[in-house]
Chains A and B, each alone.
Chain A
Amino acid sequence: MTFPFHVRAMLLATAVALSPAAMAPAWAETPANALVVAATIDDIISLDPAQSFEFSGNDVTQNIYDRLVDFDPLALDKGFQPALAESWKVSEDGKTITLTMREGVKFQSGNPVRAEDAAWSLQRAVKLDKSPAFILTQFGLTPQNVDQMVRAEGNTLSITMDKPYAESFVLNCLTASVGAVVDKETVLQHVEGDDYGNKWLSTNGAGSGPFSLGAWKPNEAVQLVANDAYWQGAPAMKRVIVKNVQESSAQRLQLEQGDIDVARNLTPTDIDAIAKNDKVQILNEPKGRMIYMGLNQKDPLLSNPAVIQAMRHLVDFEGMANSFLKGQWIIHQNFVPAGYLGASDDNSWTYDVEAAKKILADAGITSGTITTKVRDLREYLDVAQTLQASMAQVGLTLNIEQMTGAQVLDAYRARQVPVFLGEWGPDYADPQTNASTFAINPDNEAAKGSTLAWRNAYAVPKDMQDAVLATVTEGDSAKRTAMYLDIQKQYHDSAPILPLFQRVEQDGARKGLAGWSTGGAVSSAMYRSVTKAAQ
């Protein structure tokens, strides 16, 4: 059989096209002054700091905008530091905090950063009333009163609150994305109706931060461009590109090839694999996210104190942390994450099937069936199945229903998940963020609440709720810490919501990369301190 001529020609053409000579590898290292990050960034829905509330979105707004007070990426444990506000003082009655603005700072547009911009930014966030607005409105600010409560005078900004809140609480909240200072003059040019420029700011940037927004292609990439006039010094990286790469294995390949500098979503298996590569380093950073188990108190079985107590012994903490959660989740059994003021390291629940069996037998329970609705992600399914196995040993049957994230959330918000296994991430850098959702439930009967305690129908004891509310007005930080420790001790002993693990982010990075910070447990990624040395 001879091939007809045109077939031969095509085969030859294909062979040439596919040969290595035709495609010499021009792709090797990333440029020395550009940072290329691979991550899953398909959760971004808006880049307006008054709306953005997702991890990837906040990673972007963190770098485009400055806040009044902020973290030092290389010293997160120092807590909030002066940023656009140079100094502040609290009034005699403790209800007003007056911040003095730093002079000479400019927005990326060239406009000066004024107290007026800061005041307008906070007023705007309160009036827009998107999800993160509660971080500000918990100080008694409302769309109606915010113009009187938040005021600019010369170069000072004063914030008046309904109660004398702890200074640390207020300033911690101002480090959140919703506290970003936006360029009023620029945004005003893009207002549509009464949206305060929300539509425009969703896809554009107007900040004074170390980077400006180059481009955002949804589900594809975000590009940031260095602001060389940045008041804390021009960043070493002139461009930052965050590429959306879904697969851990694809991220790993690109990292090993040197096509990217950092891979942010590697599985434990891929982390193990790159550990042997001498061109790559593994960076561990504790995050604020936690996996917890909620036992819905509307369920007659789960509301039995003996069952709650038994469940604490049915979680194979060590087993899970050492196998499929390896390196990426550590045991943490209290609702304030490590890295926060008032975090507790009391991890005294132990995996003990015999103890659980005895507790249940004493209460006369030998069998029972419960359902869990779990997000169809490997980690949760693994946790659910491990729990299912240990529950079976004491006669309890756990039915596992898999669903998409949106479906689970829907059911959970309607209080229809008996055993909830899922994640919770803090909203701002203060312990109150978790205390107010794990341990506050003002009206357990109300038609709709939104705290985690409400979703699990946990009628939090009144004295515990009072204690949580009292912490925010305690000016003495040492006393505040002690109060959180107290509350958590009580919670640990009695609550039907069980914090289980805390997240550790494991990033793979090229050797020579330094100054990388994803914001630790308290904040978001900060690129301004990143440097790269030749490998």
Chain B
Amino acid sequence: MRRVGGVLLSLALTLLGLLVVTFIIGRVMPIDPVLKIVGDRATPAQYEAARQAMGLDKPLIVQFATYMGDVLRGDFGRSISTGHPVAEDLRRVFPATLELASLGTLIGIVIGVPLGVLAAANRGGWIDQVARVLALIGYSVPIFWLGLMGLLVFYGMLHWVGGPGRQDILYDGMVPQVTGLLLIDTALAGDWGAFRDAFSHIILPAGLLGYFSLAYISRMTRSFMLEQLSAEYITTARVKGLPERRVIWGHAFRNIAVPLITVIALSFGSLLEGSVLTEIIFSWPGIGSYITKTLLAGDMNAVLGGTIVVGACFVTLNLLSDILYRLLDPRAT
């Protein structure tokens, strides 16, 4: 129990630190949030009235204390750029990103891990070359270019997938929202037309993110595997006459599972907050584009709310990978 308490405390402290830093950056940023509210035409009196209504005339420390008090009561305030409560906005945009990043990471794991293992097992062979070229392209080609090309080819020319956005207007709002993840909600509702529509919209951006995540995952897997394959116990196993398949998957792979989990968690985390360009190209209403847009508007309630969510995700992912680490590796205590 004491350990759980300690973990929760460090989680809270991490988030608090994140908030303080974000809050300060937000307040020293050369963007005036009052202007966003009152616009270009306002008289000085209207400007001043709006500034006071937003509490920006109070000392920084008072503003922060007020904000923290609200957050502890579960109130993230109202976004000035959307007019909606931030909590409501986040409930809408976060599932969109979560769904996209999860599917992307899944694709990255399903293809990236076997590819990395096989590349290491056949070092210098054709699979290794293919993996290297895939990773190289993944690192060097800008994501927005690949995204636009993907849209042009698979949506524009081949008509295989749906266009930008999460679903077609025919299906918009047709399925009751349960989790906010459309693939799950449509399946729960048994509306397979809507499911197919949602799938056709997500597969291209998720595939794109999956590609970038697989480039990273496969490279890391390959290097972990190479390290293992040169270890003595592998030579021993081979000498004992074990089939190569069992040497690779049974012995070496089991030993890289632990560091791999950290790699995957990191990759998932970066997809959660780093898919901004993908979200913009595909008009994906997620948290990445939400934070970017609100930041440019000086909309600090929204930015702070978004930061808490992304920060909490990172901390949770770290925690989960830590727990798995302990479960999988008995030596770790």
Instruction: Please give the residue numbers on chain A whose beta carbons come within 8 Å of chain B beta carbons, in ascending order.
Output: 1, 3-4, 7, 10, 14, 17-18, 20, 23, 25-27, 30-31, 34, 36, 42, 44-47, 53-54, 129-134, 202-203, 215, 217-221, 223, 239, 241, 243-247, 249-250, 253-254, 256-257, 259, 404-407, 409-410, 413, 427, 447-450
Considering the complex, give the chain B residue whose CB is closest to the CB of A413: B35
Given the interface contacts A219-B293, A404-B31, does A27 sit within 8 Å of B160 by beta carbon? no
Q: A413–B32 Cα gap in the complex (Å)?
A: 11
CB distance from A447 to the nearest CB of B (A): 8
CB of A129 to closest CB in B, whole Å: 6
What 5 pairs across the A-B complex have the smallest Cβ distances?
Answer: A218-B82, A448-B44, A220-B285, A25-B159, A202-B83
Interchain CA distance A54-B196 in the complex, whole Å? 37
CB-based contact B43/A134 at 8 Å? yes
User: Would you give the shortest CB distance from A85 to chain B, in whole angstroms?
Assistant: 26
Whether B110 pairs with A14 at a CB distance below 8 angstroms is: yes
* Whole-angstrom CA separation of A410 from B42 in the bound complex: 13
Closest to B299 in A: A45
Report yes or no: B283 in contact with A218, Cβ–Cβ below 8 A: no
List residues of chain B with CB within 8 A of the CB of A256.
Answer: 156
Q: Would you give the shortest CB distance from B215 to chain A, in whole angstroms? A: 16
B83 near A253 with CB under 8 A, answer: no
Given contacts A202-B83, A219-B82, contact A257 B163 (CB under 8 A): yes
B163 and A250 within 8 A (CB): yes
Cβ < 8 Å to A, chain B residues 276-319: 280-283, 285, 289-290, 293, 296-298
Residue B38 is within 8 A (CB to CB) of chain A in the complex: yes
Contact between A406 and B49, CB atoms less than 8 A apart: no
Q: How far is the CA of A427 from the CA of B40 in the complex (A)?
A: 11
Would A23 and B161 count as touching, CB distance under 8 A?
A: yes
Q: Which residues of A contact B165 (CB under 8 A)?
A: 243, 245
Which of B155, B161, B197 is the most central at the interface, judged by chain A CB atoms within 10 Å of its CB?
B155
Q: A-facing mask of B132-165, CB < 8 A → 1, else 0?
A: 0000000000000000100110011011111111
B99 within 8 A of A: no
The answer on a CB contact under 8 Å between A27 and B122 is: no
Is B270 on the interface with A (CB-CB < 8 A)?
no
Contact residues in A for B168 (Cβ distance below 8 Å):
27, 259
B259 touches A (CB below 8 Å): no
Is A23 a contact of B200 with CB atoms below 8 Å? yes
How many angstroms between the C-alpha atoms of A257 and B169 in the bound complex?
14
| CB contact between A250 and one of B31, B127, B164 (< 8 Å): that residue | B164
> With A27-B197, A42-B293 in contact, do A131 and B42 touch (Cβ < 8 Å)?
yes
- For the complex, is B123 an interface residue (Cβ under 8 Å from A)? no
Q: Which residues of A contact B172 (CB under 8 A)?
A: 221, 223, 241
Q: Say whether, besides A129-B49, A219-B285, A404-B31, A249 and B148 are in contact (CB < 8 Å).
A: yes
| B326 lies within 8 A of chain A by Cβ | no
Q: Complex formed: what's the CA distance from A215 to B84 in Å?
A: 12
The size of the chain B interface, using a CB distance under 8 A, is 68
Nearest A residue to B110 by beta-carbon distance?
Answer: A10
Assess whether A36 is in contact with B160, with CB atoms less than 8 Å apart: no
Cα A482 to Cα B285 with chains together (Å): 51
Does A406 contact B163, Cβ atoms closer than 8 Å? no
Assess whether A243 is in contact with B38, with CB atoms less than 8 Å apart.
no
Indicate if the CB atoms of B164 and A254 lie closer than 8 Å: yes
B49 — nearest CB in chain A belongs to which residue?
Answer: A129
The distance in angstroms between the C-alpha atoms of A4 and B111, with both chains bound, is: 13
Residues of chain B lying within 8 A (CB to CB) of residue A53: 39, 41
Which B residue sits closest to A215, measured CB to CB? B173
- Give the residue of B81, B84, B111 whose beta carbon is less than 8 angstroms from that of A203: B84
Instruction: Chain B residues near A46: list those with CB within 8 A.
Output: 83
B37 to chain A: which residues have CB within 8 Å?
Answer: 45
Separation of A124 and B285 alpha carbons in the complex (Å): 34
Which residue, B43, B127, B161, B282, has most C-beta atoms of chain A within 10 A?
B43
Task: Give chain A residues whose Cβ lies under 8 Å from the Cβ of B285.
Answer: 217, 219-220, 244
In the assembled complex, B67 has its CB within 8 A of some CB on chain A: no
Nearest B-chain residue to A40, judged by Cβ: B283
Contact residues in A for B44 (Cβ distance below 8 Å):
447-450
CB contacts (< 8 Å) of A245 on chain B: these are 164-165, 283
Residues in A neighbouring B43, C-beta threshold 8 A: 134, 450
B46 contacts across to A, CB distance below 8 A: 129-131, 133
Q: List 7 A-B contacts (CB under 8 A).
A: A23-B160, A45-B37, A245-B283, A246-B280, A257-B155, A257-B159, A413-B35
Min CB distance A307 to B, Å, is 27
**Interface membership of B77, Cβ < 8 A:** no
Indicate if the CB atoms of B162 and A27 lie closer than 8 Å.
yes
Bound-complex Cα distance A132 to B31 (A) = 22
Is A257's CB under 8 angstroms from B156's CB? yes
Is B124 located at the chain interface by the 8 A CB criterion? no
A1 lies within 8 A of B83 (CB):
no
Whether A406 and B159, one on each chain, are in contact in the complex, defined by CB atoms closer than 8 angstroms, is: no
Residue B199 interfacial (CB < 8 Å): yes
Q: Which residue from chain A places its CB closest to the CB of B249 in the assembled complex?
A: A4
A134 to B45 alpha-carbon distance, docked (Å): 12
CA distance A427 to B42 in the complex (A): 12
Contacts A134-B43, A247-B164, A409-B35 supplied; 8 other A-B pairs, CB < 8 Å:
A18-B160, A26-B196, A223-B172, A239-B169, A249-B148, A257-B155, A257-B159, A405-B296
Chain A residues whose C-beta falls within 8 Å of the C-beta of B152 in the assembled complex: 253
Which residue from A129, A241, A243, A250 sits with its C-beta under 8 Å from B151?
Answer: A250
Does B114 sit within 8 A of A, measured CB to CB? yes
Contact A45 B156 (CB under 8 A): no
A406 contacts across to B, CB distance below 8 A: 31-32, 35-36, 296-298
Known A-B contacts A253-B163, A254-B163, A257-B163; the reply to A410 vs B35 at CB < 8 A is yes
Are B81 and A45 in contact, CB atoms less than 8 angstroms apart?
A: yes
Q: How far is the CB of A433 from chain B (nearest CB, A)?
A: 10
| Chain A residues within an 8 Å CB radius of B196 | 23, 26
A131–B83 contact, CB under 8 A?
A: no
Q: Across the interface, name the chain A residue whose C-beta is closest to B45.
A: A129
Collect the chain B residues with CB atoms within 8 Å of residue A217's CB. 92, 285
Q: Which of B11-54 contact A (CB under 8 A)?
A: 30-32, 35-44, 46, 49
Chain B residues near A10: list those with CB within 8 A: 110, 114
Complex CA distance for A220 and B280, rounded to whole angstroms:
11
B203 to chain A minimum Cβ distance, whole angstroms, is 8
Instruction: For B81, list chain A residues within 8 Å (CB).
Output: 42, 45, 218
Which residue of A has the minimal Cβ distance to B161? Answer: A23
